[in-house]
Amino acid sequence: MPRPVVPGRPLPLRVAVPLAVAAGLALLVAFPPYGVWPLAPVGVALLAAAAHRRRLRAGAGLGFLTGVAFFAPLLAWTNLHTGYLPWVLLSLLQAGYLALLGAATAWVSPLADRARWAWPALTGLLWVGQEALRDRTPFGGFPWGRLAFSQDTSPLLRLAALGGAPLVTFAVALVGGLLVTAVWRGWVTAQRHAPPPSDAAASPDGPLDGPSHAGATGARRWTPVVVPAVVAVALTAGGLLVPVATAGSGAGVTVAIVQGNVPRLGLDFNAQRQAVLNNHVDATIELAGRVAAGQQRRPDLVVWPENSSDIDPLRNPTAGARISQAADTIGAPILVGAVLLGPGAGQVRNAGILWRPGTGPDLDQLYTKRHPVPFAEYVPLRDVARMVSDQVDLIRNDFVPGSTPGVVRAGPAVLGDVICFEVAYDEVVRDTVTGGAQLLVVQTNNATFNVAEARQQMAMVRLRAVEHGRPALMASTVGVSGFVAPDGRVSDATGFNTREVVVRQLRLDDGRTLATRLGWWPEVALAALAAAALVGAAVLRRRQRVRPG
C-alpha cells in the first residue's frame, strides 16, 4: 500500500531548497539594523510555498534551512566575546522551532488544498503557535526574532494596541499567507493555460488548483490571484486605521537618561566596574552643572542603565557614597542598575534600585530581574553544560530571579522597570502596567554585544509602548538609548559606544489599551486554533484517499 501523501504536487526540491534559504534571508533583512519590514511577510510566503504538500520530514528540513539562514546572522552578536560555540548552539536550537513550523506547514496542506482561502489563516496561526512554544521553552524560552519585532516602522505595529505581539505576528504571517496564495494560484493559472506539450497531457494537480473552464474570461481566470494580493496590501495599510495615542494624557515629568559608556566593550567591562560607575556619576554631575547654569531643565527623575553599578552599593560604602553624591547634586531620584550580592552564598541579583537625594537607597522601591538569561546570568545543568564548554565557569555566581513585577514608585512617576532581555517577554512588561506603571523603563547593558542587537532591542521597546499606550525609554550603558512615544516614535536616540545624556519632558498615562486588558488571551486563542488546525488536518488525512506525488 503506498504511503499517503498530500494531494497534488509540491515544488521540486531544486526549487524548494533555494526558496527556504531565501525565506530565512528575507526574514533577516526585515529586522534591524536593516529594517526592511515588508520582507517579513515575503519570508513567510517563501517558506509556506517551499513546505506546501511535502512529507513531514522534508517540510522539517526546509524549515530548518530557513531557521539557520535567519537565526545564525540575526544572533551573530552573541559570538562577539564568547566564541562561536554558544552562538552556533543557540542558532541551531532556534532553527529547530522553524523546523517544527515547516513540518506543521506540510501537515496542514490538505486543509489548504481543500479550501484555498484557508491557507493564509493557517499560515498565520502556525506562526503564532510556533512563537508561543519558542518563547517559553526551554528554560523560559528565547523570544528574539518574533515576527512582531520586525514591524517597528510598519503600519502593522499599531495592531499591538489591540492584541499585543501575538496579533502583530499573526497579521504579518497572514499577509505572507495571502502572498503565497496569490503567487501559487498565479503559477498554476499560467501553467494551466500554457500550450501543453504535444506528447503529454497536462500534469494533474490537487483540489487547490481547481478545474479550468474553457469559456472563462481572463479577468475571472486571474481573480484568485488578484484578490489575495489586494487583500494583503489592504490589510497592511489598514493598520494605519488603528487608533493609538501620540502622547500621554497625564501629568508631565522631565526624565534624564544617562549613558555613561564603558572603558572598553566586551566581557571584561566588568573588570572596570569602578570606572563604569564613575562614568555614570560624572555624567550626572555634569548634567547638574548644566542645570545650575540654566542650560538644561532640571529632571524629575534620572535613569541609569543595567550594570551601571556592578559594585553592590548597599554593601560597598564607597560605591554608595558616589551614587549619593550624584543624586544629591542633581537633586532628583536616580534609578540605578546594580548587581546586588545575595540573598544566599554564591548568589547575586540583577536589580533596579531607586536612590533618592538626601536619603540614599529606597529599599521599598527595588526591582529584581524576574527572568535571568540562562547560560548568561545563570547556568542550568552546570555539570552537563561544562562538558559542552568550560566557558560556563565564567559565570561564577548564579543570578537569582525576583518574584514581583518591576513597579517602582519614584515620586514624580510610577515606573514599569524591566531589565534587558525581559522586554521581549509579554507578561513581564504587562505585569508592570497592570500594577500601575505610567512610564515603561528598559534598563539594559549592550557592552557585550553590538549596535545591531541594541537596535533590535529598541524595536521591542517601540512595540511595548504601542501595546500598552505608554511612553517608554531605553537606557543603555553604551547605546542605543532613547525615548519612545506611545505611538512608537523614537526621540533623542543616542549613538553606540558613546557617552551621552539626553533629557526629555514626557506626559504620563494611566489608561489601558485593549491589548493590556486582554493580556495573553489573544495568543491563547490563536495558539488553540493552530492546534485545532493540526487536529483537523489529521482527520482530513484519514478521510481522504490520496495519491503519491
What positions carry a catalytic annotation? 306, 369, 420
Question: CA-CA distance, 447 to 449, in Å (whole number)?
Answer: 6
- Which residues, listed in sequence order, are joined to residue 408 by a DSSP beta bridge? 415
The DSSP output letter for 503 is E
Q: Beta-strand (E) ranges in 232-321?
A: 252-259, 301-303
Say whether the peptide bond before residue 374 is cis (omega within 30 degrees of 0): no
Sign (positive or negative) of CA dihedral 161, 166, 172, 177:
negative
Q: Is 112 in contact with 208 (CB distance < 8 Å)?
A: yes
Cα–chain center distance at 389: 28
Q: Nearest 10 degrees: CA dihedral of 304, 150, 35, 421? A: 30
Structural Rg of the chain based on CA atoms: 26
Number of Cβ within 10 Å of residue 515's Cβ equals 25
**d(Cα 223, Cα 214) in Å, to the nearest integer?**
16
Residue 84 Cα distances to 79, 90, 264, 542, angstroms: 5, 10, 21, 45
Sole residue written with cell 496569490? 182
SS3 255: strand
Query: Do residues 5 and 50 touch, judged by C-beta distance below 8 A?
Result: no
Torsion of CA 371, 377, 383, 387, to 10 degrees: 120
Q: Measuring CA to CA, how many Å separate 330 from each of 297, 359, 521? A: 11, 14, 44
Q: Within 13 Å, how many C-alpha atoms sit on residue 437's CB side?
A: 29
Instruction: Pull the grid cell for residue 456.
Output: 533590535
Q: Using alpha carbons, list the distances in angstroms from residue 157 to 153, 170, 172, 247, 315.
A: 7, 12, 10, 16, 44
State which H helix or E strand residue 398 sits in.
strand 398-399
Q: Rounded CA gap, 163 and 155, in Å?
A: 15
Furthest-apart CA atoms within the chain: distance in Å: 93
For residues 40 and 176, the answer to whether their CB atoms sit within 8 Å is yes
Q: Are 371 and 422 in contact (CB under 8 A)?
A: yes
| DSSP state letters, 26-49 | HHHHHSTTT--TTHHHHHHHHHHH
Give the separation between CA 509 and CA 248, rounded to whole angstroms.
Answer: 5
